[in-house]
Structure 1
Amino acid sequence: MTTTVTAKGQVTIPKAVRELLGIIPGSKVAFHRSSDGQVVLIRADQQQPASRFRKLRGHAGQGLDTDAIMALTRGEP
């Protein structure tokens, strides 16, 4: 992936990298130079990126039995 540096020295972090690191607006990032001279971008605020499955976790509702849940998933009234 490549990106262009602006006149102000700014770059846009590609979407795939933002998603991989869990970078959202307001996230802090850090740049580190590795021993071979490469620069590595890491997320600096120590928050782990949210699992793509974590967003889907939840429950069907308080007090619903199996029949009520099945009716909801089928779209029955």
Structure 2
Amino acid sequence: MTRVTTKGQVTIPVDIRERLGLQPGDEITFEETDEGYVIRKEVEADRFEKWRGVADTDETVEDRMRDLRGDLP
């Protein structure tokens, strides 16, 4: 059984965290149902979308890797 702290916090049991794939920093929602509440992990529709355009460059992969390694052309 889990208890609510005075700060309104609860510890989610390990087996439930593992089944939900919860990691520190993940966001969850509590949805009310006729039977009680359901915990859901918030998942972005496309978790890679936030990275789109971050590495926009005209360099080739080989050129970029060479730059990162500090290799001379």
Q: TM-score range, shorter-chain basis?
A: 0.5 to 0.7
RMSD: 1.6
TM-score (norm 2): 0.56
Does 1:45 pair with 2:43? yes
2:67 aligned residue: none
Q: TM-score scaled to structure 1, two decimals?
A: 0.53
1:5-42 deviations in whole A, cap 9, x for unaligned? 100110001100000000001111010001x1411001
By relative contact order (CA 8 Å, sep 6+), the higher-ranking structure is: 1
In structure 2, what is the Cα distance between the partners aligned to 1:16 and 1:46? 23
Instruction: Give 1:8's aligned residue.
Output: 7
Separation in structure 2 between the aligned mates of residue 46 and residue 20 of structure 1, nearest angstrom: 18
| Residues matched between the structures, number | 45
Structure 1 alignment gaps of length 5 or more: 48-77
Q: After TM superposition, where is structure 1 displaced by more than 2 Å over at least 4 residues in a row?
A: none
Instruction: Summarize the alignment of residues 1-77 of structure 1 with structure 2, pairs less than 5 Å apart.
Output: 2-34=1-33, 36-46=34-44
SS in 2 for 1:19: helix
